[in-house]
Amino acid sequence: MVGDDDIESRGGRVKRNGYSNNNTSSSSAYASSSAYVIEDTDSQWTSWLVPMIVVANIAVFIVVMYVNNCPGHRHMRLVGKCVARFLGRFSFEPLRENPLFGPSSSTLKKLGALEWTEVVVKHQGWRLITCIWLHAGVIHLLANMLSLAFIGIRLEQQFGFVRVGTIYLFSGFGASVVSSLFIRNNISVGASGALFGLLGAMLSELITNWTIYTNKAAAFFTLLVIIAINLAIGILPHVDNFAHIGGFITGFLLGFVLLSRPQFGWLERQNVPAGTLVKSKYKPYQYVLWLVSLVLLVVGLTVALVMLFRGENGNDHCRWCRYLSCISTSRWDCNGI
């Protein structure tokens, strides 16, 4: 998710094989996208939801550009000419206003961008959801949709559209809530909070299914490095790292709730002789992680929503948290961002 017209960072991806009776797994980093892709030759699901989400985001962006109508803005002479004017009303705002080749911030705000005043003072809570489907520009849209394709399609093939869709939407919602708690002066749009949720879910899936993977330590370390790099880049100005963190935490907890895999003994229960003691479906630690994560998720979102709609500023309760989103240097100043 980005504040105003800026784009979140992209890191790498981890690739590992899914489990089977003769399971092997390997880890390798790629620099092209923020993803941790699970591959399994015995995929049980056909991915259709993630492609539909990609199509929906593209369709929404086209509608936003139609509504934006850059040539119809009277103020455009003050900031420059529209970009790609041959596109007519679909042309982009001057690069001085939006370097990502997209609409104006006023158009994004009009169509559902996240802003504290609109959500809390004007009681427009629907913006916590609509902002997930808006993007600041073509670059922003392409980055998020390519990352979603890398992450989401394989996840959906592994775990089905219900669980992946739930993680995506709830992570986006959690990202919006955390962002609104800490950022009051800027608008924010984008699906990166939901994408970080999928990344967090992959980490918790690896942890909760730890015993069924080989080379898991290498996969775990690689994934942690990728997450750390993405979050570190989020401290650059105009990047909404609070949304990234909120989405990641939400997805991480949901991963324990929704992505646990049964033990091998449970999967093979139909092939064991009669009278043989069959293992429980999940290991005890998986049940513990499931319960703890569910409680933390429900309590955390409830407390955050109560604080948000009471008008409380998260920075008043956590003085150092502002450094999670932006750190001032000699090259830029975070004040007013």
| SS3 state at 239 | strand
Q: Which two tokens stand for residue 275?
A: 């009278």
DSSP run (H or E) holding 38: strand 35-39
Among 142, 154, 229, CA closest to 198: 154
Find out whether 175 and 166 touch, Cβ atoms under 8 Å.
Answer: no
Q: End-to-end distance of the chain based on CA atoms, in angstroms?
A: 15
H helical segments located in the chain: 49-68, 76-79, 105-110, 116, 127-130, 138-159, 161-182, 192-208, 216-233, 241-258, 264-267, 284-309, 314-317
Q: What are phi and psi of 331, to 5 degrees?
A: -95, -20
Annotated catalytic residue within 188, 244, 293, 325: 244
Q: Which two tokens stand for residue 78?
A: 């003050």
**Widest Cα–Cα separation across the chain:** 83
Annotated catalytic residue within 47, 192, 293, 325: 192
| SS3 state at 36 | strand
Identify whether 244 is a catalytic site residue.
Answer: yes
Find out whether 245 and 193 touch, Cβ atoms under 8 Å.
Answer: no
Identify whether 192 is a catalytic site residue.
Answer: yes
By annotation, the residues acting in catalysis are 192, 244
